[in-house]
Structure 1
């Protein structure tokens, strides 16, 4: 039975995004693209930036021989459909949506990193962390005052011995290897922490959708619906993820604690052992406070918008309209199920439905017309000067008395010709032969 339950659980897991990503035909290429675009540096990108960067990456992959036949937009749409990318809620005033890694994709990338860069087994830092947490858990759950006082007195003696040693000049520090090991353990834990808060934000989104659905299906009055709404908020707040977020947010927004964390991170990154960290690890430590604040703010904003939007949804007529539409759809579905037993799917009903000739399009397909795209080309190309224009310029100089024009042989030839009518639309230019004849007469 244990194997049967385990197999059922794994089958369900196989349908989720994490397993699908690792089992995809082009998993190495897809994971590498997701990691370079939305994991190593940027955590979220706008639609235009993501498509532009992904297009460049695809061109490089195709040049190296990889078979990537689709466009950047097609791959983004496919990854969203598979659950590997998620769209962020469009913020007020935002012109385009943003994309980020889903929780499943981030977990898959972290899992692969542990395989590519395996940590040393049974490290001292991990053992020390476990021992410290167990000791702290035992002390904070002890309800006996005598043992609590004895533990505190022992801790005070230890601190007194350490202070005396430092005052005497005996300052002990960790070796570079041990310090580097602990720093990487901290980075690993903090990286997982950011993923945890994304999961909390996804849980709030699911709760929002679930409560909206329950509001439509609940036939009670508004007071009952509001009571259920606030009860739902308390339930998520008391969950493990909710308590973790509440404690995190209180700690992070405490000015004293946040300043202490910032100073400690600055001191750690300036220690000599920190030079052995790679560029990504150093950047992660330097931006840890900002990253945690950004992730926490995102979860906090989702929770606030969640409460405000549901209140407005319940108190407005939009709530009633949605409920009425839901009731109509429910009744139509029930009638269709009854008619299914009486009417075959291919049976002719003898009824002709006239469809509208109007073309229905999404508003997102409309494009504003830019008059600058249809500006006519008013430029004029420069042509080489002709001999006739040069001759005309010479006659102008002669008429102004600046220089005598020498008689040419073709002048006499023109004068000896009998006059004749020219065809319509034909003119002689330049007219200087006639003027020359007039001057000779």
Structure 2
């Protein structure tokens, strides 16, 4: 029974993108192309760049007689890889074209194949055993609840440190030899490289959570589901999930200035050692850019998490889920009715309903008529518009929706009324320019309703110059400001 279950599980895995890539017809060529384009150096490429580079590599391979035939074009291969789940396509915010990167399954497959040819990978090294022992001892100490046992372990550790300090003070240094140091460094490079790739898995987890939460909101038939209730309460369900809390803790540790400083100092000291010269150029470059790589990939995941949280909250606040829920219910209703009719109606039964399909009928090119722009030519002459009328009822709304310098207008009126006994808005505009254009006129009208004398039946044509240098005109109620109310404008 166990063998049967295991075989059934492997059959399901056989349909996964990772296994499909390993078992593809041209697997060596495909894996080599994917690794060279999107793993060894750049991890993400714009669509045009990926197509151009892939086509160039395909031309080189086809010119090689030892290479197997690769019949498709670069665009066809990219579309096929995307459909197989070996590539992922995204449109970053502000980007002009889509970007492609390897899927997590393709990355795992490529690393698995690469490790088969690496004699160092997968070996039981002294550094790995030391790391395991160190972590086990630390875990045992941190989980110890007996104070006496914990105190004894700390005292033993202090005694060991005192002995080591005494040996160093006496000039007895026991530094690692170059071979063992090189082995440990490469083990750390392999471990941190896998850690950097884990960001891809975390981002996939957030995408899965976003889909699950949306499906739960749509599928819930009650007034409010658990996720919906928490979102209405202002809870960030993405950040509050297990994956969100784990990543947030990692992100806080990665952004700790003290921790980052110690990491940079350790990397600089390590690269200054003599054995570091025996590292490959790619290995040294990886160590130099380790902090930046972790921050860059962690920042991408953090941005994805924040984007999903905002979009999920906006999905709920805009009530968009109600329309999605209604559509989902209609689809389920249609499916239920179709299941009830399947015994009475066959696929070839006439339903009496005609569905008009959109399409085009192919004809000979000689029967086509070219479009003549003159047949739909419009009159391009510009007519002078009538003078715009501004009513007092609209002044309040316009003032509330605008940022008008009312204080400056008060100051201008106060100064002008010191020179004139009475003043209309048109006269004020002739003495002082409309700095804010129509906003200045609206501001004067607003002040006139409180500090001026309004004429219900009289109107005034006011003129001012717009920001483009063109003259503007408006028809407004006649408002007069008098010197008697000059002090109210202070």
Q: Is the partner of 2:174 in helix, strand or coil?
A: coil
State the match for 1:202 in structure 2. 204
Q: In 2 relative to 1, CA 32–357 (structure 1 residues): closer, same or farther, beyond 3 Å?
A: closer
- 1:71 and 2:67 matched: no
Q: Could you tell me how far 1:40 is from its partner in structure 2?
A: 0.9
Q: In 2 relative to 1, CA 107–345 (structure 1 residues): closer, same or farther, beyond 3 Å?
A: same
State the match for 2:14 in structure 1. 14
Q: Could you tell me how far 1:13 is from its partner in structure 2?
A: 1.2
Does the 8 Å CA contact 1:180/1:277 hold for their aligned counterparts?
yes
CA distance in 1, matches of 2:244, 2:192: 18
CA distance in 1, matches of 2:360, 2:241: 46
State the match for 1:176 in structure 2. 178
Does the 8 Å CA contact 1:204/1:303 hold for their aligned counterparts?
yes
CA distance in 1, matches of 2:353, 2:111: 59
State the match for 1:102 in structure 2. 103
Q: Is the partner of 1:99 in helix, strand or coil?
A: strand
Which of residues 283, 286, 292 in structure 1 aligns to 2:285?
Answer: 283
Does the 8 Å CA contact 1:268/1:274 hold for their aligned counterparts?
yes
CA distance in 2, matches of 1:68, 1:283: 34
As a proportion of its length, which structure holds more strand? 2
Q: Could you tell me how far 1:312 is from its partner in structure 2?
A: 0.6
* TM alignment of 1:15-54, pairs within 5 A: 15-54=15-54
Q: Could you tell me how far 1:45 is from its partner in structure 2?
A: 1.3
Which ranges of structure 2 fall in alignment gaps of 5 or more residues? 362-490
CA distance in 2, matches of 1:138, 1:103: 34
State the match for 1:216 in structure 2. 218
Q: In 2 relative to 1, CA 30–166 (structure 1 residues): closer, same or farther, beyond 3 Å?
A: same
Q: Is the partner of 1:306 in helix, strand or coil?
A: helix
Question: How many residue pairs are counted as aligned between the two chains?
Answer: 355
* TM alignment of 1:5-404, pairs within 5 A: 5-65=5-65, 66=67, 67-88=69-90, 90-119=91-120, 121-222=123-224, 224-227=226-229, 233=238, 236-237=241-242, 242=244, 244-356=246-358
Q: Is the partner of 1:95 in helix, strand or coil?
A: coil
Does the 8 Å CA contact 2:206/2:305 hold for their aligned counterparts?
yes
Q: Could you tell me how far 1:280 is from its partner in structure 2?
A: 1.8
Please, what is the CA RMSD of the aligned residues? 2.1
Q: Could you tell me how far 1:335 is from its partner in structure 2?
A: 2.0
Q: Could you tell me how far 1:133 is from its partner in structure 2?
A: 0.8
Q: Is the partner of 1:337 in helix, strand or coil?
A: helix
Q: In 2 relative to 1, CA 325–116 (structure 1 residues): closer, same or farther, beyond 3 Å?
A: same
CA distance in 1, matches of 2:104, 2:358: 44
CA distance in 1, matches of 2:226, 2:124: 54
Q: In 2 relative to 1, CA 247–308 (structure 1 residues): closer, same or farther, beyond 3 Å?
A: same
Does the 8 Å CA contact 2:210/2:238 hold for their aligned counterparts?
no
- Could you list the per-position Cα deviations for residues 357-395 of structure 1 after superposition, in whole angstroms to 9, with x for gaps in the alignment? 579xxxxxxxxxxxxxxxxxxxxxxxxxxxxxxxxxxxx
Q: Is the partner of 2:95 in helix, strand or coil?
A: coil
Q: Is the partner of 1:348 in helix, strand or coil?
A: coil
Q: Is the partner of 2:101 in helix, strand or coil?
A: strand
Q: TM-score, normalised by structure 2?
A: 0.69
Q: Could you tell me how far 1:337 is from its partner in structure 2?
A: 2.2
CA distance in 1, matches of 2:246, 2:321: 32
From the CA coordinates, give the structure whose radius of gyration is larger.
1
Q: TM-score, normalised by structure 1?
A: 0.76
Does the 8 Å CA contact 1:40/1:280 hold for their aligned counterparts?
no
Q: Could you tell me how far 1:231 is from its partner in structure 2?
A: 9.0
Does the 8 Å CA contact 1:87/1:98 hold for their aligned counterparts?
yes
Does the 8 Å CA contact 1:222/1:314 hold for their aligned counterparts?
no
State the match for 2:412 in structure 1. none
Q: Could you tell me how far 1:234 is from its partner in structure 2?
A: 6.8
Q: In 2 relative to 1, CA 356–108 (structure 1 residues): closer, same or farther, beyond 3 Å?
A: closer
Q: Could you tell me how far 1:122 is from its partner in structure 2?
A: 2.7
CA distance in 1, matches of 2:204, 2:184: 31
Does the 8 Å CA contact 1:218/1:225 hold for their aligned counterparts?
no
Q: Is the partner of 2:241 in helix, strand or coil?
A: helix
Q: Is the partner of 1:87 in helix, strand or coil?
A: strand
CA distance in 2, matches of 1:243, 1:356: 50
- Of the two structures, which has the highest relative contact order with CA contacts closer than 8 Å and spacing of 6 or more? 1
CA distance in 2, matches of 1:121, 1:205: 35
Q: In 2 relative to 1, CA 287–160 (structure 1 residues): closer, same or farther, beyond 3 Å?
A: same
CA distance in 1, matches of 2:246, 2:270: 26
- Could you list the per-position Cα deviations for residues 85-109 of structure 1 after superposition, in whole angstroms to 9, with x for gaps in the alignment? 1123x33212122211111111112
Q: Could you tell me how far 1:249 is from its partner in structure 2?
A: 1.2
